[in-house]
Amino acid sequence: MVERMKPRVLVLRAAGSNCDGETQFAFQHVGAQADLVHINRLLQGDIRLVDYQILAIPGGFTYGDDISAGKILANQLKYQLADQILAFHQSGKLIVGICNGFQVLVKAGMLPRVDTTAEQSVTLTFNDSGRFEDRWVELTANPKSVCVFTQEMPERVYFPVAHAEGKFVVQDSTVLAKLHENGQIVFRYCRPDGSEPTYPDNPNGSVDHIAGICDPTGRVLGLMPHPERHIDPTNHPQWTRRALRAEGDGVALFRNAVAYYA
């Protein structure tokens, strides 16, 4: 019997990344081979993106979030690695950006659709609270989304956020309407009872309470909350007071990515 090859995940690192280890662990936990790769190794050609099936851009504060959050790393992808990333996407592979990674994908022209030459139509900007938000939030996972990462995921999940520039905004109402029409809205903030949130349940003031979107193919996902920080039920600070589940809510997202290659 031939053993199935594990999907290979490239977890992209740069100066200021700080969730790369957790992201690597999350993918390994569900059966992938995950490598931490510094962007300089891609730029120098020591590592080839084509040799991987999944690209993960983790959270952190790449390059200190100078200029704006994720902008410098986004420019490296857009102007130095665009050909590789476009070929990677066109070959049917998966990309996920978490928190700072979401900011990078948006500013590199990889969300809401992969087009590094298009005018940016959405962004992530400063929280309405004017401060860094570090808290656990309730989310609804859109069952009508085309996103590969959330198929058959529970409709309600619980992840932490940790960001200062997490407010999702759109260029105009037409952009928002297309996100809805195409099934690209993946996660939305909600209250514990599932109803429409106000602050702090929507921690940043995002338009339409949007916490994550995908591209029209469903193979590129960006989200502000951190699924890699809820892999085990004991990751939650109130785990002794909550009914323990078999696994944390974030596992399903990473398992779906690996199952895509089954």
Domain spans of the chain?
Answer: 8-259
Strand residues in the chain grouped as ranges (E): 8-13, 33-38, 54-57, 94-98, 122-125, 133-141, 156-163, 167-170, 185-190, 210-214, 220-223
The overall average pLDDT reported for the chain is 95
Select the more confidently predicted residue: 223 or 152. Answer: 223
Give the mean pLDDT of 90-109: 98
54-83 residue pLDDT tens: 999 999 999 999 999 999 999 999 999 999
Per-residue pLDDT for 4 more than 70? no
Q: Quote the pLDDT of residue 3.
A: 52
pLDDT tens digits for range 9-68 = 999 999 999 999 999 999 999 999 999 999 999 999 999 999 999 999 999 999 999 999
Query: Which residues are tagged catalytic?
Result: 99, 226, 228
Contacts of 157 (CB under 8 A, 6+ apart): 138, 139, 141, 187, 227, 230, 249, 250, 252
- Specify the CATH architecture of the domain 8-259: 3-Layer(aba) Sandwich (3.40)
Looking at residue 2, its pLDDT comes to 43
Give the pairing type, strands 133-141 and 167-170.
unpaired
Q: What average pLDDT score do residues 209-226 get?
A: 98
Specify whether the CB–CB gap between 40 and 243 falls below 8 A: no
Burial 31-65 (b: 16+ CB within 10 A, else e): ebebbbbbbeebeeeebebeebbbbbbbbbbbbeb
What was the pLDDT predicted at 1? 40
1 or 124: which leads in pLDDT? 124
Identify which of 176, 181, 187 has the alpha carbon closest to the alpha carbon of residue 216.
181
The structure's pTM equals: 0.96
pLDDT per residue over 162-204, tens digit each? 999 999 999 999 999 999 999 999 999 999 999 999 999 999 9
pLDDT for 224 equals: 98
